[in-house]
């Protein structure tokens, strides 16, 4: 499915295909090296020194593990507001997902734009999502497992959600069958009614 950058400008949809890099400031695709031999491969999934070299100098305090039993499961689009906003590094440990980040930083040139990438156990890619973005994903296979790091602890009183199929955002989820969502995500806020708690260059 590859990488996508999507923006709505004067009711026109503009698509920019990207490879590794993307056009939304702050997001980073991480590709840990794999060292192969006849037995398989070895890879460092997390290395502070390597992250710092990529401009990610952040202390992560919590690892989350999400398991989705069925293909076409959609989770999101979620965020955690200040003072407990979270930076994240997302990867897929089993199966595959289409991972999406939406820029919700008021004042950002790419406010309301989204970036999507396929993360899988096979390709080993990871996505760094800084504060000021909402995050969601769709599973592309059964029994998909997502592991992600967070820079702050879960704070239920500060969590929020934007509707996954919002017409203003226009996220291209691909060949989605019958989506599987919980009631909470089905009742999430439409983007036109959303007031962001994030301000570009201030708290994100």
Two tokens, residue 132: 């000021």
**Catalytic residue check, 111:** no
Rounded to an integer, the average pLDDT of 37-44 is 91
For the entire predicted model, the pTM comes to 0.87
- Supply the DSSP string of 63-107, one letter for each residue: EEEEEE-STTBEEEEEEE-TTS---EEEEEEESEEEEEEEE-EET
* Residue 123 belongs to some domain of the structure: yes
127-157 per-position pLDDT tens digit: 999 999 999 999 999 999 999 999 999 999 9
Of 6, 78, 135, 200, which one is the catalytic site residue? 78
Tally of domains in the chain = 1
- Residue 129: both structure tokens together: 């999502």
Mention every residue, 6+ apart, whose C-beta is less than 8 A from residue 190. 162, 163, 166, 168
Q: For residue 45, is it within any domain?
A: yes
Q: Assess if residue 24 is contained within a domain.
A: yes
204 located within any domain: no
Q: What is the pLDDT of residues 70-109, one digit of tens each?
A: 999 999 999 999 999 999 999 999 999 999 999 999 999 9
User: What CATH code is carried by the domain that includes residue 79?
Assistant: 2.60.120.10
Residue-range definition of the domain harbouring residue 7: 3-199
Q: Which of 6, 135, 148, 200 is catalytic?
A: 148
Could you read off the pLDDT of 156-167 as tens digits, one per residue? 999 999 999 999
**For this structure, is 143 an active site residue?**
no
């Amino acid at each position: 499915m590859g990488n996508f950058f999507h923006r709505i400008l004067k009711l026109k949809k503009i698509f920019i295909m990207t490879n590794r890099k993307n056009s939304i400031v702050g997001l980073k695709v991480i590709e840990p090296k794999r060292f192969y031999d006849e037995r398989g491969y070895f890879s460092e999934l997390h290395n502070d020194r390597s992250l710092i070299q990529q401009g990610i100098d952040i202390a992560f305090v919590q690892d989350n593990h999400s398991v989705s039993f069925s293909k076409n499961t959609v989770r999101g689009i979620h965020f955690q507001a200040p003072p407990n906003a979270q930076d994240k590094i997302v990867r897929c440990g089993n199966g595959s997902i289409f991972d999406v980040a939406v820029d919700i930083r008021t004042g950002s040139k790419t406010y309301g734009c989204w970036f999507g990438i396929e993360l899988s156990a096979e390709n080993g890619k990871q996505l760094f999502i800084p504060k000021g973005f909402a995050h969601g994903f769709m599973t592309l296979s059964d029994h998909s497992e997502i592991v992600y790091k967070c820079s702050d602890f879960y704070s239920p009183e500060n969590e929020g959600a934007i509707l996954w199929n919002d017409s203003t955002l226009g996220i291209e989820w691909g060949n989605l069958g019958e989506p599987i969502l919980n009631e909470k995500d089905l009742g999430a806020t439409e983007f036109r009614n959303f007031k962001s708690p994030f301000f570009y260059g201030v708290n994100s």
